[in-house]
Amino acid sequence: MINLEVPKKFEQLVDQAHQAAAEFLRPNSRKYDEAEHTYPKELDMLAALLDGLSAAGQGASAGGVRRGGSDKGADKSKQGNRNGSNLQLLLGTIEMCWGDVGLLLSMPRQGLGNAAIASVANDEQLKRYQGKWAAMAITEPDTGSDSGAIRTTAVRDGDYYVLNGEKIFVTAGERADCVVVWATLDRSLGKAAIKSFVVDRDTPGFELVRLEHKLGIRASDTAHFRLDNVRVHKDNLLGSPEINTEQGFAGVMQTFDNTRPLVAAMAVGVARAALEETRRVLAEAGVEVDYDRPANAQHAAAAKFLKLEADWEAAYLLALQAAWMADNRKPNSLQASMAKAKAGRTGSDVTLGCVELAGSTGYSETSLLEKWARDSKILDIFEGTQQIQQLIVARRLLGKSSAELK
């Protein structure tokens, strides 16, 4: 059974993450929001801390979380519940995004591509990319939420694959050392032929087209790439090179089982920051939030706040569940999508609700509430939109395939 308290062995790490968020991320939040595309050099000082959040000697590698080794030969009856690297990283992410989600996404060696490598890479690849900063390139100009419709191609040529196509909205694409690119080996075979390749940034033909100007997370760079006959060695393919039409692209999709709870954690962290600031603003205005009285017997603003906080807690608990299941080697695809769907929507609802409750203070730049409302929206979109998450959840609950339920 999951214990909803922060494990004692993680308390110090969570405190350190919160201290870093309070002393650097939060004070610099507005600065790098206004200076879009400017790399926050101060982040280099915090990189070691984030390496500790993802590594800490507990099965994490390549900047992400390894989904666990084998239990072969182990006595499962004596193992009990395990609080491991997934829960550890999730708790740290919440604290850091309480500080600033855009700056966290700019942290060296903490890209979404690192989670992809950690999920499906072999031991040699894990060692080779240890300490590298990896971005992840999935979305294309004509392919958004349907990852299975990817058009970027990978054609085998001896010991190399030749990649051609375009990728957009690549988080930390300019700053990363390498990019995990999703491409298809054979478009006629659909999702089963989609594979991921690690492409070094200096590879010939891998062209940065532009950086996007965005509504939120402006401290993080978002890149548009063009791949023109990019040659990638076969050893850079993550997972099996074989096309298994029965399995589909489940191996590639394992990445999302890792990253979706982390995106949920980002939304939880931002929303918590907004709730705390709003509680302070309400208190200054003389509005008391009383947890011992029914909401309908309190000030309308207090009742609204209680509703927002209840939604936030549900998102928080779902995120914890998804990470805990991964640590205990339980299939968590359903829970990962549930957490992402709930937290993504809740993050937007809470931050916008807090802007409304705070009035002119929430809408102006005198506080960070308006910024958090802008930042939170992307967390409901990337790593699979709200609608896609609900579709995945429905398929899982009803036992339907993607062909049966579209």
Query: Residue 301 carries which side chain, given as an amino acid letter?
Result: A
- 404 Cβ neighbours under 8 A, 6+ residues apart: 395
What are φ and ψ of residue 5, in 5° steps?
-85, 155
What are φ and ψ of residue 83, in 5° steps?
-105, 105
Among candidate residues 207, 153, 204, the one with its CA nearest the CA of residue 183: 153
The first and second tokens of residue 202, run together, are 């200096």
- 310 Cβ neighbours under 8 A, 6+ residues apart: none
Check: CB of residue 334 under 8 Å from CB of residue 397. Answer: yes
Q: What dihedral do alpha carbons 102, 355, 340, 142 form, nearest 10°?
A: -70
DSSP of 273-329: HHHHHHHHHHHHTT----TTS-GGGS-HHHHHHHHHHHHHHHHHHHHHHHHHHHHTT
69 backbone φψ class: left, alpha, beta (φ>0; ψ -120 to 50): beta
The SS3 call for residue 167 is: strand
Check: CB of residue 197 under 8 Å from CB of residue 137. Answer: no
To the query of whether residue 404 is one of the catalytic residues in this protein, the response is no
- 8 Cβ neighbours under 8 A, 6+ residues apart: none
Distance CA 31, CA 218 (A): 10
DSSP β-ladder status, 206-211 and 222-233: antiparallel
Helix or strand (DSSP H, E) at 30: helix 26-34
The first and second tokens of residue 265, run together, are 């954690």
Q: Which of 95, 140, 277, 383 is catalytic?
A: 383
What are φ and ψ of residue 164, in 5° steps?
-140, 135
**Residues for the chain: how many in total?**
406
Give the residue numbers marked as catalytic. Answer: 383
